[in-house]
Structure 1
């Protein structure tokens, strides 16, 4: 044991000094010396830093290709997490896949997840290297396509997985098809990629519910559009005797009823079997810069002045006095947020509804007056962003 040489090796690896690494090895340094309890071996440290030349020196010096112990990251895992593609390619070529601990999540699953948490071209390229090497998920893990849809990942990742043999009709371990998983998560992009790759648009889960039924229940209108354009069956009955249209009626989703072909819609009291819980907030926190919150106040005032109280009440279904109070509070009651740069207002659901109704009137209604310096299109943008956050 040459502790001095070992320390020089550690220092050289961390400094990225190939010459010093070669000298330390020539002086008898242990190529398997550990850097720290959880950082693993010097090979893992070099892989983590993307230092391909040093990785090659250590491997040629018979450094252990696998993890130093059950707790430390292996060289391959360290390289995958940092998306050092060429290091991953080198380690895979030297047998790193077979040296991984079976008790930890697979590097393939790690690579899929990395495209969500650290999305870079290198992360996608690293995943491609593993797929080309036929890396597999662990025995208790979901198939990579399911993992990707559940994250969710960017469409490019799904296309890469499908190009390397993933089945568009892949099922989760509970027999839920990937297209249903995408619909439940409101991921219209994933749904579209899966459908283009041949996923069965009418595939069912264990309850006999299709992706369309789940999307209807969750008010995911973009997913519904993708499914309908792909030919989703509207009249299919689930195991609990529900159809997509019945679910839309039961949740009183008039827009979706129209999408499903109904010509006359209303607020009918239709009993259905529900599989989701709907959240109806009684209060909200509006956060933004003062000028944006003041803009909402101006929008409310303009709509009230243009329509008058009676017409406002009739057209919006909200109380004019509540709207007037909301405008006043948007001017006078906003406060700086603690430990943050924005301002905020604790508003009631009725006050939020009044602000949204005013935006609708100025964006799409008969009101022609706009706040100074603001166009109708800009108000449409504000309304659409608000609706997106509200799940409309």
Structure 2
């Protein structure tokens, strides 16, 4: 008897494998779509209803008449097939018209719709996996538990989200599936992580907690921002996600948006009330991150929203120094126009003008001077700014300082005149500039 069942099953499997191969080739030339519906391959059973040895082989082969005959003769509809799986499993995943009839016959005869396969997956899981929408409805109407979990302990809704089955998701939710169930992470996390706006909206509309946190303790909005999912972030924010939520190692939300350079997400967060003067775990304000990456459009968004251009980074340096350090003239000018203090000193006591001279950034030096920077300021060692121009042989910058009224007879911290220092370094061009301006030894 068992060998006969095996022969029938093998013949049926080979037939379906051939049809499936043809189906796969067809799918390869079909246009891609957001949600794939599995098209069943349904060869007609060739075995006579009277030739099946048991109900399992009849179900496997899809022979409705034979299945009914076995049930009428008292066969156990809760028996298992050769693999140890419920009789409902095979037709639930295959989804042919005769499978639907078989499922209805088995259910009417008392088959357990919540039975699980050898891996611990409920029958409903198989229908969801194969996107058999009609069968999903039949099983649910017959009492299948929509909040059951698969063999890995994940909610069935997780499977539908992972497979991007929007219609199945809606069916499960309408039947009472817990939208806030977790698989470790909240179910909403899966849709966010994969960047599925349609699914995120379905879950949010069904009551998913947009302020839930993932298994690492991170707010879900972090995931959308970090992965650059603009529409997903917008949906979460519109649904009330806390734009100022933070976590230990990645906070607040905005650094992720700035890191990815997504000005649109930054704008979404700012418009929703994000704190533009918040600092990250390293103590750096948001502006610092944007300056470090040279993202002037994001800097402008933050400044327009009230970010403090005179804030200091986690090391105590003015934010303007970051723009000077990278030689970003456009950014320096924007910050200066926005009110950044050009006479501020860095964490070591060096004026920002000192940094610009050291790096030979003549356009930034000119910008600072035009904005009123003190050309007679001294560095952290007490040396005049001329000192740095001389050491680096920046004759053009020395001329700018002279033209701006810098004291050409200033003394350095050792009591030496600027002219003496220039002669010792052999800076003949600078010596000439200083002498013409009235410098004496």
Shorter-chain TM-score category?
0.5 to 0.7
Which one has a bigger Cα radius of gyration?
2
Equivalent residue number for residue 142 of structure 2: 94
Say which is worse superposed, 64-73 or 161-170, in terms of deviation: 64-73
Query: Which one has a larger percent strand, Structure 1 or Structure 2?
Result: 1
Higher relative contact order (CA 8 A, sep 6+): 1
Deviations 1:24-55 (A, max 9, x none): 322444423444538x3220111112333321
Equivalent residue number for residue 283 of structure 2: 241
**TM-score normalised to structure 1 length:** 0.58
Aligned with 1:167 (options 201, 209, 213)? 209
Aligned with 2:92 (options 47, 65, 76)? 47
Equivalent residue number for residue 312 of structure 1: none
Alignment of 1:214-253 (within 5 A): 214-253=256-295
Q: Secondary structure at the match of 2:88?
A: helix
Indicate if the aligned counterparts of 1:213 and 1:243 stay in contact, CA closer than 8 A.
no
Deviations 1:309-339 (A, max 9, x none): xxxxxxxxxxxxxxxxxxxxxxxxxxxxxxx
Instruction: Please state if 1:133 is matched with 2:175.
Output: yes
Equivalent residue number for residue 20 of structure 1: 66
Alignment of 1:143-154 (within 5 A): 143-153=186-196
Equivalent residue number for residue 113 of structure 1: 162
Q: Report the alpha carbon displacement of residue 229 of structure 1 after superposing the two structures with TM.
A: 3.6
Deviations 1:56-105 (A, max 9, x none): 21122222323444416431100111222232233233332276557532
Gaps of 5+ in 1: 116-122, 271-392
Indicate if the aligned counterparts of 2:60 and 2:91 stay in contact, CA closer than 8 A.
yes
Q: Report the alpha carbon displacement of residue 147 of structure 1 after superposing the two structures with TM.
A: 2.3
Deviations 1:121-166 (A, max 9, x none): xx2121112222332476652222122212232x121111111111
Report how many aligned residue pairs link the two structures.
261
1:173 and 1:42, CA in 2 relative to 1: closer, same or farther beyond 3 A?
same
Q: Report the alpha carbon displacement of residue 188 of structure 1 after superposing the two structures with TM.
A: 0.6
Deviations 1:152-210 (A, max 9, x none): 32x12111111111122222233311211110111111001111112222222234712
Say which is worse superposed, 92-101 or 190-199, in terms of deviation: 92-101
Measured in 1, the distance between the counterparts of 2:288 and 2:294 equals: 10
Equivalent residue number for residue 247 of structure 2: 205
Equivalent residue number for residue 58 of structure 1: 106
**TM-score normalised to structure 2 length:** 0.52
CA RMSD of aligned residues (A): 3.3
Alignment of 1:1-392 (within 5 A): 7=53, 9-35=55-81, 37=83, 40-50=85-95, 51-71=99-119, 73-97=121-145, 100=149, 103-115=152-164, 123-136=165-178, 140-153=183-196, 155-207=197-249, 209-261=251-303, 268-269=324-325
